[in-house]
Structure 1
Amino acid sequence: MSTVTAPASAERTARAEARRPAGRPRPRSRKVSRPAYGAGLGAAVWLVLVLVPLYFLIATSLRGSGDYLTEGPLSIPETITLDAYRRAFEVGFLRFLTNSLIVAVGAIALVLVVALPAAFAIVRSKSRVVRIGFTLFLLGLAVPAQAVIIPIYLIITRLHLYDSLTAVILPTAAFALPVSIVVLTSSLRDVPGSLYEAMALDGANNFQTFWRLVLPLSRSGVVTVAIFVGLNAWNNFLFPLVLTQSSETRVLPLGLWEFQTQYGTDVPGLMAAVVLSALPVLALYLFGRRQLLGGLAAGAGK
């Protein structure tokens, strides 16, 4: 029976190929996809690791001080109260938030003013001095802030900037410059050279090329740098600790110390302040997540 079926099957296949219109691709056999149990298990574990701290953070901020001591840390609050948030504002959360915003915006503005022209010069210039300068910027990636905190302190004090927000902005921007220049350089290298040539044929100088061509096409890189510098300034603890002293210049990372006294720690109030301080960062990420991913992937195909 097999000797008769095989030629018949081959004949039917030949007839089907003859009836198929010319130029139409041969239909492919469908592959049965198998569920990735390992990936699903890993995703579930990662979800638990992310959700449990968030639940603890939010649930603790909605407890009273007495309930936190009597109930378990992961138990559902029996009574929900906003007293912890009220205590956070009484300690001076708005002042800490304002100082952190000033430091973050100042560092972002200073980095973009310096890094954008530097990246443009690195991409377009063939000068040896520019290449040496780019190498020096790259060497800055290997210098940790902890290793040079004493020279930074001496420079700030001799400039009479100690205990001011400017004393925090300047070193924060300086240590963010190397990574920012690398990201912006990769972003500007994605701009086609024909566009630069077209601008030159139209008679545009370097400033006009930078303003009309580079800035609009490097938006993803600019947003990436802004988010990176803003997060570093927002979470920075070392520079405010060493370079500031008074409560008027205290930023959020140092302001969280206000919930710790010699008699104990106000954990619900501390968690409420952490929740409030995380909201601007979350809004910044939701606003620029697409440009952030595009900026981080810039230059990947070069």
Structure 2
Amino acid sequence: MTTVPTSAPQRATAPPSEGGHRRRRSRRTRERPNWVAGLTSVVWLAIVIVPIYWIVITSFKTQSNYYAENPFAPPGEPTIANYRLVIESDFPQYFLNSVIATIGAVIPAVLVSFMAAYAIVRGRRSRLLRWTNSLFLMGLAIPLQATVIPIYLIIIQLGLYDTLLALILPSIAFAIPLSVLVLSNFIRDVPKELFDSMRIDGATERGMLWRLAFPLTRPAVVTVTVYNALQIWNGFLLPLILTQSPDKRTLPLALWSFQGQYSINVPAVLASVVLTTLPILILYVVGRRQLLSGLTVGFGK
């Protein structure tokens, strides 16, 4: 009895599933270049870069060359006479006033905001903490322009008019609400198990505040520090209302006076703008990594 050999069974090929088609379509979509976004980015980069380029090259031109040459052409004979002129016009005093007002307001505001955010998130649920949190949130809805007159009257009553302390105290008050909101969201993302383990090891609330919460929320602390420093450094309304003496002026108010003093000498005005921007640029370069981490941490979740 012979057996007829049979061919090996052929493996049936299943038709491609609908999920495979979707994955291939999504892969092709991801690989397709987004020309609209790229072109928009280039246009936006040009909008930002061109004014900066014009300010920098003009600050190295003489007054006569500024009106005789192409405004966007590099200076044929670069000069630092404009910077020398600005520095000799009490610019160091204005710079020192801005540094004192910024540091004197940012450090207390960030410290108070960090401790308040920790108390709101990790403290016992009480009516006082809820009211405090609501008070901070209400502070976000009050613009500075709406409180100029009350602030002016309070500063007059305290005898602080025409002092740097008159700039520091209101700046602290306006920096706290947003700082508390940002820092409380970051502290809330710290796992509760880490706090419990430290509490079991005998750590106090102060120890958990500075040894656990502070290192883990350092990007947020740097973010609110840089943001508040920018707001106070560039502040114009408070120095204009609360100071009067020339030796109490800050850099934004000094730029206004430079514009009036050198209304025709445009290169000198732009040189003062460059000198005013340099500290902010240095601050960004130093804290760039922490700042970007603090701004993008929420997008990775």
TM range (shorter): 0.7 to 0.9
Query: Closer, same or farther in 2 for the Cα pair 1:228/1:262, shift >3 Å?
Result: closer
Query: Closer, same or farther in 2 for the Cα pair 1:58/1:173, shift >3 Å?
Result: same
- The match for 2:3 is none
Give the drift of 1:289. Answer: 2.2
Whichever residue aligns with residue 46 of structure 2, its letter is V
Whether contact under 8 Å (1:99, 1:250) holds in the other structure is yes
Quick one: distance in 1 between partners of 2:61 and 2:10?
A: 75
- The match for 1:101 is 99
Give the drift of 1:72. Answer: 3.5
Structure 1 runs, 4 residues or longer, greater than 6 Å off: 11-15
1:211-239: per-residue Cα shift (whole Å, max 9, x none)?
22112212111101110110011100000
Give the drift of 1:258. Answer: 3.0
Give the drift of 1:96. Answer: 1.1
- The match for 1:205 is 204
Give the drift of 1:35. Answer: 2.6
- The match for 2:66 is 68
Quick one: distance in 1 between partners of 2:197 and 2:108?
A: 31
Whichever residue aligns with residue 114 of structure 2, its letter is L
- The match for 2:222 is 223
Structure 1 unaligned blocks of 5 or more: 1-10, 16-26
- The match for 1:149 is 148
Query: Closer, same or farther in 2 for the Cα pair 1:255/1:263, shift >3 Å?
Result: closer
Structure 2 unaligned blocks of 5 or more: 1-8, 14-23
Return the TM-score normalized by structure 2.
Answer: 0.86
Quick one: distance in 2 between partners of 1:66 and 1:13?
A: 86
Whether contact under 8 Å (1:186, 1:298) holds in the other structure is no
Give the drift of 1:297. Answer: 4.1
The equivalent position to 2:38 in structure 1, one of 37, 40, 47, is 40
Quick one: distance in 1 between partners of 2:10 and 2:87?
A: 81
Give the drift of 1:31. Answer: 4.3
Query: Closer, same or farther in 2 for the Cα pair 1:211/1:80, shift >3 Å?
Result: same
Return the TM-score normalized by structure 1.
Answer: 0.86
Quick one: distance in 2 between partners of 1:299 and 1:269?
A: 43
Say how many residue pairs are matched: 281
Query: Closer, same or farther in 2 for the Cα pair 1:41/1:297, shift >3 Å?
Result: closer
Whichever residue aligns with residue 243 of structure 2, its letter is T
1:87-135: per-residue Cα shift (whole Å, max 9, x none)?
1101121111111111111111110221011000110121121011101
Whichever residue aligns with residue 40 of structure 2, its letter is G
- The match for 1:114 is 112
- The match for 2:18 is none
Provide the secondary structure at the position in 1 that maps to 2:287.
helix
Q: Name which of structure 1's ranges 201-210 and 120-129 shifts more when overlaid on structure 2.
A: 201-210
- The match for 1:249 is 248
Quick one: distance in 2 between partners of 1:213 and 1:300?
A: 23
Query: Closer, same or farther in 2 for the Cα pair 1:283/1:247, shift >3 Å?
Result: same
- The match for 1:286 is 285
Whether contact under 8 Å (1:108, 1:173) holds in the other structure is yes
1:175-209: per-residue Cα shift (whole Å, max 9, x none)?
11111001110111111100110121112221122
Quick one: distance in 2 between partners of 1:242 and 1:149?
A: 8
Give the drift of 1:295. Answer: 2.3
The equivalent position to 1:91 in structure 2, one of 89, 92, 97, is 89
Give matches, 1:111-190, under 5 Å.
111-125=109-123, 126-190=125-189
Percent of pairs with identical residues: 48
Query: Closer, same or farther in 2 for the Cα pair 1:212/1:264, shift >3 Å?
Result: closer
Give the drift of 1:13. Answer: 8.4
Whether contact under 8 Å (1:162, 1:244) holds in the other structure is yes
